[in-house]
Each structure stands twice: as structure tokens, then as C-alpha cells.
Structure 1
Amino acid sequence: MMTDRRSFLRGALAAGVAGAVAGPSAAGAASPARATEAATRPFHGEHQAGILERTRRRTVVVSFDATAAGRSELTELFRTLTDRARALTGGGAPGDTGIAAPPADSGVLGPDVPGAGLLVTVGVGASLFDDRYGLAGRRPPGLTQMPMFPNDALESAWCHGDLSLQLSADDDDTVVHALRDVARHTRGAMQVRWRMNGFSSPPRPSGTPRNLMGFKDGISNPDVADPRAMSRLVWAAPGTTGKGRNAPEPAWTAGGSYLVIRLIRMLVEFWDRVGLDEQEQMFGRSRDTGAPLDGNHELDEPRYAADPIGKVIPLTSHIRLSNPRTPQTADSRILRRGFNYDRGVDAVGDLDMGLIFTCYQQDVARQFETVQHRLKDEPLTDYIRPFGGGYFFALPGVRDSTDFFARALLS
């Protein structure tokens, strides 16, 4: 391990700047497609990419254990993550490492690496704030270890972590290339704890993508184009206290957001034997259109006030429990970002597939946990099995070329 660390500090970090993917200027004029991507989502900014942006077709969600030896190496790790994210999202030609050295790039994307709309989102877990790096006093007060909720079947090998990384793009090879690049440059400083590959289905026939139960997933998200809603529901609020805690949010969290990841297996063989009417009663929506059972279109607002006993939309339906649409529950809304996964079959030959549920919020206790407790024992729990994931804090964005992930946290 010490050899790996020395190699990491001596070689990989230098390669992150000198021998890695060069910026577009080094590769000549960018293609129109690449220029459009860059203009759409520049790497630098107040917030990280991958939170408000449209969902890409492919993703990988990875949790890491930090193996850096001390605060200095941890700082270099975050500098390297920043360098790699900046280079990979910008695209360009790999640098020349010389005749005797390994190639600067895996070559998976060819000789000129495209940015390809890659989104990179980095988070930190509660365990990073133990006594290894002197960060205990800087932990965001709402960042805790994800508990075992009723109806969960959590497996320790698939839970928690010091850091989270989500890489999203529209092509599998773009995501694979980015993961290999990050793993190469951070060897000796962090080690994969668990990972899950996912995909987002195209709208069929239109509107919100569907999950593997056949229902549209994430219809009632808050409007990401509304800055006031995002300030109230998504972005951390330094100086304020959250639900059930006395400590205020530290200043360094400005621009970040609390991230919940849930790995949820869907028992599809059983689900596929349930009648359509019963399925729709459990969700509270039409499977074909996504509309609430008292509406015609997916974006129609359900009229709960006109149906107080749940004659049309059952009181136990998923949409009614998760979002009752009352003034008292307006601040518990979350920003959902879901992906499907398919891991083949399990040890007994059952299909192993489901949902990578991710959501962003200002306050986990006020938002995700409040919703989760309302969903206790809902009818859908007979057909799903949450088995992994964790709580993380998605770091503030990288402001400019002199900034790096977690700089305010570590300084």
C-alpha cells in the first residue's frame, strides 16, 4: 500500500496535469457538438454538474473508501479528482508520456477523447469525518450514516462509503473510460467499496422515462429552472439549522447538496403476475400515460381534496403517501434522479434488476427521511427490496481553474 501511495503522490498527480487529457485548445478546434456541450454545461460553477441537468442515458455510481495517509494526501486526492473531472468533461488529445511510459489514456474512446456530455458528481460520506483526517468538527450536521428503515434489507457490502462518485453520459464507453481514468489516477488514495451501473430509458412514448416496473419515474420533481425552489429544497443553507438538530450548516457547504443513494431491487417476476388495475392502485397513476388516476396527463395535479377517502387514488398509493400536496408537506419534496439497473440473475436464477434511486435535498431529515417514513408498509414494499446505498454530501462546485473539490472543507 505504501508503494501505491508513493506512486500516487509522485506520478499519478503529476500525470493528472501533464500527461493526461489535454484541454480542447491542445487538440485544435472543437467540433460543433463538443462546443455545444461545453456551452451547455461548463465545468466551473457554483454547483456541480449532474444535479440539475437532464438525466443522461448511462451512469455508474461508485462508493469509495479513502486510503490516503493523512490530510495532505487527502487534499491531493481531491485535487486529482478535480483535474481528471475537468479534463474528461472538456475532452481533447491525450498528452505524450514518452516512449518508455505507459500510454496517457486507455484508448477506449479513440485517439482524441470527446467530452461527450460527461457529468461528474463527487460527494463525501459521514465516515470521512472520523479521526483520520481531522475533519470531525467540519462535518455537515445532517450528514449521518444511512439507517435501516422499515422494509429495508440492507447488505453491509453495498452500503455507505467515504466518497461517492457518479459518472453519467449518453454512451457506455464514455462512462467506462472515465471510471478507468479516475481509478488509474487515484490508485493508493481511494479504493472502490461498491459500484452499480445504471441506465435511463428513453421516453416511451413521451414525457418522463419509465422504471423497470413499467411506470414513469420522477414525474412530480420540483422545477429545476426555478431558483427559489432550488434554494429552498436542494441547495445547502449555511448558517441555518435543520430538522432535529442544533448545529448550523457550516459555511463551506455553500453550493452543495445532501445526496441520498438507494439501491432498490425490484422483484419483477412477482410484479409481472399482478393485475394492471392493482399495479395502478399501488402507484396511484395510470401505467400507460403516467397520469394520476383522477387525471388524463402525467403532469396533471391529483385532486386529493376532492377524494378525501381515497376512492379514486387510494390513501395508501405511492404518490399520495410520498407527496400529499399539502402546505405542511411542501418543504419535504426532493429532487429525484433515478436510473434502472440490471445485474443479470441471482444465485437461484431470479432476475436481478431494479432502481438506482438518487435524490438531492437541503435537509435529509426534513425531506427524504420524512417521505421515507410516510412510505412505511406501503403496498409496493411486497415487490421491492432496498439493499444498499448511503448518505453523502455532494460537494460545492469548482469555481475556477484555481479551485478544487472540497477546497473549502480542507482549508
Structure 2
Amino acid sequence: MTDRRSFLRGAFAAGVGGVATASVSGAAASVSGAAASEAGDAERPLRGFHGVHQAGVEEAPLPRTSVVAFDVIAENRRELADLMRAITDRARVLTAGGVPDGAGITAPPADSGVLGPDVPGGRLLVTAGVGASLFDGRFGLASRRPAGLTTMPTFPNDALDPAWCHGDLSLQLSARDEDTVVHALRDIARHTRGAAQIRWRMDGFVSPPRPSGTPRNLLGFRDGTANPAPADLGRLVWNADGGTFLVVRLIRMLVEFWDRVGITEQEQIIGRARDTGAPLDGDGEFDPPRFAADPIGKIIPLTSHIRLANPRTAQTEGSRILRRGFNYDRGVDAVGDLDMGLVFTCYQRDIASQFEAVQHRLKDEPLVDYVRPFGGGYFLVLPGARDDRDFLGRALLA
């Protein structure tokens, strides 16, 4: 109780005072463009915080990320609104950067100091969402739950652990450097203490293209080759209000088992060549597979991952998703096996007709012998904050 009231009276009351913010609006407006994916663009700022959409969806994945789910422990709707304002204010400050305020002799420092005395601006993406459980009876929001926002079910071949599933809120923090992500998480956790507590967290990383093209996952195959083109995102990803639906799937890969499988069998399971990423009937990574010319699956098996996930028919074209994959490595498990895999995230306008349609097509595919989905959840990524007076979730809480 003391911590919660401290949040309400102190952390939020401080607003954006933790970092000098005289130039926040200017800094946010002055940076634009997608995330840099090439080493030579390492110093290019990311897009600003404000906009119709939140950052972190359309941008190319950054090397480091943390996906965090929270349980809200605020006691009423007003306190929930204060929580969302605090998250928005901290995200606005952290993405803009600046010099943290000084603290009194006996006061704790206003900033953790992880990034030094001057927090760099334009090096962080913050993406916030809400889960179906936020729309229960606690805050009077039941009638406002979007019809498409449900609780992630257990699919065939899942091994879900409740401790790693769902959440009232989601937060994804992405940056080029791990300390930037850690700094942002500590800052937001500090300023929301007493109103939200972490339910689960998974850190991930994106490998650089080797030697070029789409980054690889820990099975050694390229991940995200067939994503929709930017021109299709308005139709497949963004809702009319500027939000989108996020699916998170935490998938352990049984890499030691996979590494004992012959390369030909691996490629038949995926449907692509491991070295180039090309479909088995093509030469380059982005060559479209010619499924219609191979109706019995002689070249690309009918049970291959790419053929089931995206059959490339007129009937299944609308179920395409914007896929973002991050690798994770948690060391070893209790019996000494490597504990690593994929933080799968995807965005779409409608979870049932897109992600779930794909998931049902993948039921019992050969790949299920080598992967174990154990966590994740469904979330509504809120529309963006339009300016420095707006906050994430304002329309929902009005």
C-alpha cells in the first residue's frame, strides 16, 4: 500500500521531471525514418515518439529487445489512468534523451546512471499494449474491450506455463544496445511501482544478416522473409484508430535435437535452403515459391512450414501477418540442456482470421518435434500519443 501511494503522490507527480525535457517536442519531431538495420547507420536516430501509430511495429527490429508483461495493481480507473500517463511520460523522456535532474544530498538519484550523465536521445523504441484481462470488472472497462482482443488459448502442440502467459499490460523496449534497454526498463519500473508489477519478462536479440538478407533464428534459418510489403500494412496490420493486435509466443527450440537432423531433412521441414533462404524451388531468398506448379509437393513438401503458414492462395492472402522474431538464450535448464529459442511477435488487424488461421494450418507440422511454445499472450497495441499533451490509452479511459 505504501508503495502504491508513493507512486500516486510522488513518481507520477514528478511527471517528466526525471530528465531535462525542454527540447522533448523538438527532439521528437526532428527524428524520423525506420530503424537502421545496417552497421553504417548505427548513429541514425529512430523515429520520434509521437504519431498516429506507436513506434516499434513498422520499424526493422533492433538488435536488443525486452518483452515485458505486467499485472496492474492500481485500485481504480483513475489510478489506471495515472499509470498510463506515467508510462507515456517516461517513454517520451527516454526516447528523447537529456540530462537527468540533480537530486538532493539525501535523495536517491533521479536516474540509474547506467547510460552515464547524459541519456542519449533517439536510440530507443517503446511499444505499449493492453491485454484482455485489463477489461475485467476492476476498472469498469468490460464494455470497451475490443471484440478481437481475447485471451491466448492453448493450441495443439503447446506446453504453456501459466507463469509465462498473458498480462494486463505489455511493454516492448528495443534498442541497439542492451544497456539502453535495461536503463529504460529500470526507469519505467521505478516510476510505475505500486501501480503495476512485472508478471514475466523475456529478453531477445536479433543477429546481424549473415552474410546478407534477413537475420537468422537459432535453427539457422532466416526468419521473416515473407513479411508483407509496407504498402500492405494499412490493410493487414493497422486498425482504423491507429492501433494493432500483437501476438507474443515464447518458443523454446530443442536445438540439441535439431542439430542432429540432416540438412536435407531440415530444409524439407522448413521448405527453404538454409544457406541462401531461397525456397527449395528458387534461387534467391525473396523468390516466391511456386506452389501451384508443384501440387503434390515433390520439391517443397506439402507439410513444410512455409507452405502451411502461407499457401499463397487467394483464400489465404488475407491471413498474412507482420512477423518479428527475436532469439533468446537463457543458459541451461535443470538437466543441463541448452535453454534457447524464439521470442515470436507478430502484428495484425484481426488475430482470429490472421495469426490463429495460420496457427491452425500449422497443427502437427513436422517442426513441432523441435519446438515447444511455453508462453506469451495477446495484446492490443494502443494508438500512438499524438503530442505532448496526449497519453497512451487516453481514448480507452476517457
The alignment's TM-score, normalised by the length of structure 1, stands at: 0.92
Shift of 1:23: 2.8
Equivalent residues in 2 for 1:146-295, closer than 5 Å: 146-224=152-230, 226=231, 229-237=232-240, 254-295=241-282
Deviations 1:228-273 (A, max 9, x none): x112100124xxxxxxxxxxxxxxxx10000000000000010000
Task: Give 4+ residue runs of structure 1 displaced > 4 Å after superposition.
Answer: 32-40
Aligned to 2:37: none
* RMSD of Structure 2 on Structure 1 (CA): 1.9
Does residue 337 of the first structure (1) align with residue 324 of the second (2)? yes
Shift of 1:98: 2.3
Give the alignment partner of residue 382 of structure 1, picking from 369, 377, 380: 369
Give the alignment partner of residue 51 of structure 2, picking from 38, 41, 45: 45
**Kindly tell me: are residues 380 and 82 of structure 1, through their superposed partners in 2, closer, same or farther at Cα, counting changes over 3 Å?**
same
Aligned to 1:68: 74
* Paired residue total: 388
**Kindly tell me: are residues 164 and 217 of structure 1, through their superposed partners in 2, closer, same or farther at Cα, counting changes over 3 Å?**
same
Does residue 394 of the first structure (1) align with residue 381 of the second (2)? yes
Aligned to 1:17: 16
**Kindly tell me: are residues 200 and 24 of structure 1, through their superposed partners in 2, closer, same or farther at Cα, counting changes over 3 Å?**
farther
Does residue 87 of the first structure (1) align with residue 90 of the second (2)? no
Aligned residue for 2:199, secondary structure, equals strand
Aligned residue for 1:15, secondary structure, equals coil
CA distance in 2, matches of 1:38, 1:67: 38
Shift of 1:116: 4.7
Instruction: Decide whether the 8 Å contact of 2:269 with 2:304 is kept in 1.
Output: yes
Shift of 1:117: 1.9
**Kindly tell me: are residues 333 and 15 of structure 1, through their superposed partners in 2, closer, same or farther at Cα, counting changes over 3 Å?**
same
Instruction: Decide whether the 8 Å contact of 1:24 with 1:91 is kept in 2.
Output: no
Equivalent residues in 2 for 1:312-323, closer than 5 Å: 312-323=299-310
Give the alignment partner of residue 308 of structure 1, picking from 280, 286, 295: 295
Aligned residue for 1:391, secondary structure, equals strand
Deviations 1:53-107 (A, max 9, x none): 0110000000000001100000000000000000000000001232221110000
Instruction: Decide whether the 8 Å contact of 1:154 with 1:386 is kept in 2.
Output: yes
Instruction: Decide whether the 8 Å contact of 2:27 with 2:48 is kept in 1.
Output: no
CA distance in 1, matches of 2:123, 2:237: 23
Shift of 1:38: 8.4
Instruction: Decide whether the 8 Å contact of 2:31 with 2:48 is kept in 1.
Output: no
Deviations 1:349-378 (A, max 9, x none): 000000000000000000000000000000
CA distance in 1, matches of 2:222, 2:243: 28
The alignment's TM-score, normalised by the length of structure 2, stands at: 0.95
CA distance in 2, matches of 1:3, 1:201: 43
Identify unmatched segments of 5+ residues in structure 2: 34-40
Instruction: Decide whether the 8 Å contact of 2:31 with 2:47 is kept in 1.
Output: no
Range that drifts further, 32-41 or 128-137 = 32-41
Aligned to 1:110: 116
Q: Which residue identity does 1:203 align to in structure 2?
A: P
CA distance in 1, matches of 2:289, 2:331: 37
Instruction: Decide whether the 8 Å contact of 2:64 with 2:181 is kept in 1.
Output: yes
CA distance in 2, matches of 1:345, 1:281: 29
Q: Which residue identity does 2:218 align to in structure 1?
A: L
**Kindly tell me: are residues 112 and 323 of structure 1, through their superposed partners in 2, closer, same or farther at Cα, counting changes over 3 Å?**
same
